[in-house]
A = this chain, B = another copy of it.
């Protein structure tokens, strides 16, 4: 294995595989093959990367230098067990899965390459500004993963599996749960007949504020002001009992965290 491997195989063809593959290619690396459950999705990404494709993990070419698993957590273990390339570097991109899942089939070099970002297939990702959380099974492997990660990003952080799991959990709050608040806000604003776009300056400023102050300091609104006039009226306006429960729980949580 050379000091920075250049030929890579992607197992998976979803959002992460797509954006990571394009970024590796843009950094001068060469795609060997894309494997996906369907030949259609494998072929679509392989076309963009100009490489081979397959839907059968058992026929995967074994002459690649890096195998990158960008698959759902539930599929990762079984797929890794079917790849036989003990001298290559094996990396998974999952936030919450242990590195040790790749300790199979005599693999000598393996680790984690977790990009802390939300990806969409058709939305270009700027990897230079995406933190890459890495981990390797040996000091030498970690150095190689680090070199590879630095090709893409200015922010490369070594993190043990436990740290990475906490970070992934934090990311679920900061991204997935945040986006779900947008979903709920969108439902409410649609009831008013006004467009969702009216909320965009507020959404942008809410994100921008925490660049300059802690989220605790940035908290505004009726919950933090303990303005039960407003929060009671809001609860009355919510017809959906589940949404009411969520409003109540979040309002209480804001109270508790302001007292702390």
| B-binding residues in A (CB < 8 A) | 15, 72-74, 95-96, 116-120, 123, 129-131, 155, 157, 159, 162-163, 165-186, 188-189, 191-194, 196, 198-207, 209-216, 218-225, 227, 229-230, 233-234, 237-238, 242-243, 245-247, 249-250, 252-254, 256-257
Contact = CB atoms under 8 A, between A and B. Distances in A.
Contacts of A249: 242, 245-246, 249
A166 B182 contact: no
A209 B174 contact: no
Which of A118, A159, A177, A252 neighbours the largest number of chain B CB atoms within 10 Å of its CB?
A177
B183 A219 contact: yes
A100 B168 CA distance: 48
Query: Closest 5 CB pairs between A and B?
Result: A176-B221, A182-B215, A166-B192, A174-B185, A170-B188
Q: Which secondary structure dominates chain A's binding surface?
A: helix
A195 B124 CA distance: 26
A203 B227 contact: no
Nearest to A15: B220
Contacts of A218: 118, 120, 179, 182
Contacts of A234: 96, 169, 172
